[in-house]
Structure 1
Amino acid sequence: MPLLSRYSKIIILNGLSLDIMGSMLNVVKHLPTNVYTNFAVTIPYLDESAPLSTTTTIIGGLKLKFCTKCGNKIMDGTHFCTSCGNDLREESTIETESDHNVDLDTVNPELDYDMDLITTEPVDNATSNLKFSKKIKIFMSISIVLIILIVIIVNIGNSLSDPSKIVKRFEKDISSNNASDLASILYCNDSRLKLDSKSISPLLAYFKSNPTYYDKVDQDLKNNAYNPKDIDSIKLVNTLTLSSDGKTFLLFPKYKIYIKPSFITVTAPVKGITFSINNTNIGESDSDNSTKEFGPYIPGAYTILANYKNLYVSSSTTYPLDLVTADNNIAKVNVLEDMKYINISSDTNYNDAEIFVNGKNVNVKVKDATHFGPINNSSQIYATLSQGGKKLTSKNYKGSSFDSDLALSFEEASSELTDVKNKLNILLSQYDYAFVDAINNNNPAAINNYVASGSQLYKLQEGYIISTAKSGIQETFISSYITKFNSISDDNKSGSFTSSESYIIYSKDGLSTPTTQSYVYGFQYNDASQTYQLTSIN
């Protein structure tokens, strides 16, 4: 039987953890050769004169002890060999210097070792083993640290790139109204859209006022998180869409909540209408019947204010806009649709009549009022013309009562003027008859119905009638008419006119003298008697 050198390695096959120091070697020599695989064990020196270690290390972590005299297997904690009685307490467990040989037959002659199954590898010395062991430890330590770092990085990366966390953060921001943080997790492919706490406030307000819609958006984001797709491979349909966009550290997918931008198209009928959205001015119409697009905007609820003002018309209207439900995220609005230009004429051909809009003289005559305006449906339009001492005023028209052509009618005003003139002509004639009768009969009261009591004319004529009657003068009325209407008030209740009156005057001795005189009378309307009366004479 060959000898084994101290601290030798024995190669056993098929991964069996076997101790060649004990009876288990009997198993080895009977094993089929085709089932063996490499396996290393350490054989201790077994000479009685040099106590050896009783520990044999077998790959797989199993440690066994054997008696140095008989090779019997020793259980841990045993101080005497149960086979030969050897005192194990006096034996050393480590031997590093000598290089002794072990005769397995001497150690245990009863065992029949099959050395064809056993090979030996000499180990240089304990120092090389220690150096090799130190290098292994360093290598393994570095490997462990690297593995730990990789595990940490992977876990952190996976945690940071977890799409469900983006959704939870979104939900938290909405519930806490944290506009600033919400803006930081939203992205838009349109670089013109600025995402900050102010710009996204309409979306927050929309979620608060429309909880059902918010629940739908939240569920859509959760569905996106289950199976996120690359932003370039999808078409943004929903207001918010969670998708992947590139990698973080070249390894971990990066997720974003993409917001679909909204736009507003404004159509205005006339030039010069200004627009503002949520109290922010955005522009104006630069031509008639123009359409302009504004945006992009964050989806949400907005209010657009359209305003127009010129010298005589001021129009301002607000329009609510829902950019969330708008088709293709484009909200369309027609503003101040009642604004229009008109063509003005007169039914009585009063071309020099001056136009008034909402009580203001626009310094435009009827003959120049083609493509006039713009006005709106609430505008009040009329024209005035001075004629016969009277300012004729056309009928008042509201902008909503006609389309683009307006024919101003002075018929009512003209008829009123004619009626006033007729009444004043009758008044003059009646006064002249009464005046002659008062002189011929010495009866001043005869003119009371035609002259305002207490007026300048009444006092003057009362004295004239009495003095003329006493002098014996008689008069005969021939004719009278109004030559000029100097002025008639807008309410037709006062004014003045110039008359031409013809009389024959008879002296006391019977001589007759025809005479024609022109006087300027003042007049007023007596509401009590509902008639006109003269008030003054000049």
Structure 2
Amino acid sequence: MSYKFCTECGTKVEKQYRVCTNCGKQFANVQDTYDQRQSDIAVGGIPSPNFQEIKETPGNNTRSTKQTSRSKKLYLTVGVILVVLLFGGYYLGSTLTSKETVIQKFEEALQEQDTTVLVGVVDTTDPNLKITKKSLFPFLSYIEDQPQNLTFSGLEKMRFVSIHPSGKKWLFFDRYKIYIKPFYPVISVNFDGTEIIINNKKVGKINRGEAKTFGPYLIGEYRLKAVYKGKYATIDKEEVIDPHSITGKKMEVNLTLPENYLSIYSDREDAFLYVNGKNTYQRVGEMDRFGPVVFDASITIHAETEINGNVIKSNETTLVDEDFRDIGLLFNYQKENTPVESSNVTTEEELSSTEVVATEEDLSSINVEAEVKKIRTEYNEINRVQKDFTTNKQGRNFTQYINENGIIKKIVKHENGLTTEYYFWDDGSLFFIFTTTAKPLENRYYFKNNHMIRWIDSNERKIDVNSSKVNQTFKDWENYWVNQILSSID
């Protein structure tokens, strides 16, 4: 038996077959064999018994071709889908993690004050600071008041924020975060045991002369408050941090509390000081200064001493004027003394308590010490009732205090933020001037009928107003300062 091989699939097939028994491929010599057989039949021949007629089945070939085509299309489709998914996924991943997307989320979250989104897109370079909704509030509070800065670029120009890679996402894509600037406030105070409060939260205590570091905090709006609780007063000071003033990682803040101390004197230095009716067991003559105190009329002071077995009480002074801290606590009695002549410049101890001088021909000889005591009592009384006076401000540096009868009792004048002058009147007559400078240097001028009878200079010396030098100084005062003030009242 002879065989042949299919040229399509290579299958071994008996030679008499017209088509391949495997793939259905029609052989080229089929027609010749068929024609020979038909010729043999026509002449009365008999077909060869070995010739097996194979009927061609058209459907087999068509079905096989369709299956091949479908497989190719399937593979192609799957390949295209995989390519699309691959490139689409990469594009989507890179888009979701890009700088532009992170900045857009950041700006939208700022507009909506959405702390949930912000926690996911912001960070800080300080490992000691954890980003939470609460830690973001000061930053958001400041931004809310600065609508022109609700953009990343605006905040970046102010050096409040920056953007940097923060690891990988899905192994392939750079992950970006916006970093908010951190800072540490370094706070110092001027009282021991001062409590520090930052944005209504107590964070610790500081002593005088030390600087303590707090934080870290995200850059933003912060209220720093120092509170000192003393025996006689609670003093506080608050300062709001401007984010623009934070130039480095550390920011020095000096919370200097008002040093509300009093200078107290008396004609009996052995007298005890009383505060709101309670004995402090401190003698007036032994106190360098007293305080700190507050000037809200909550504190009243006086002195008590014993004379001839009797306890006597000085005048009382209620603290209402923070600009006037020189308080005299005097007793209503007079000592018998022999007048002595005064020198040109004398100390407190050298000058007797009954100094007699005459500064003008129309003034009779007067007891200067007695007049000074009266003057001190009067200006203390004016300060005590000052809260009931009507104030009349003439500019930011000039204030008049007027009583219920419309009479000016006191004038306060500020000069260049360095010098303060206090003028006191009684029955239309100037009786006392007190001046203080920033050093401080203090001068006290006592008047009788608008004429100076005593001058206590910044060295606590009593100056004889009869000396030629003082007379010239007095004339300068009278012709310029006093007359200027009096003319301003008219």
Give TM-score scaled by structure 1 length: 0.44
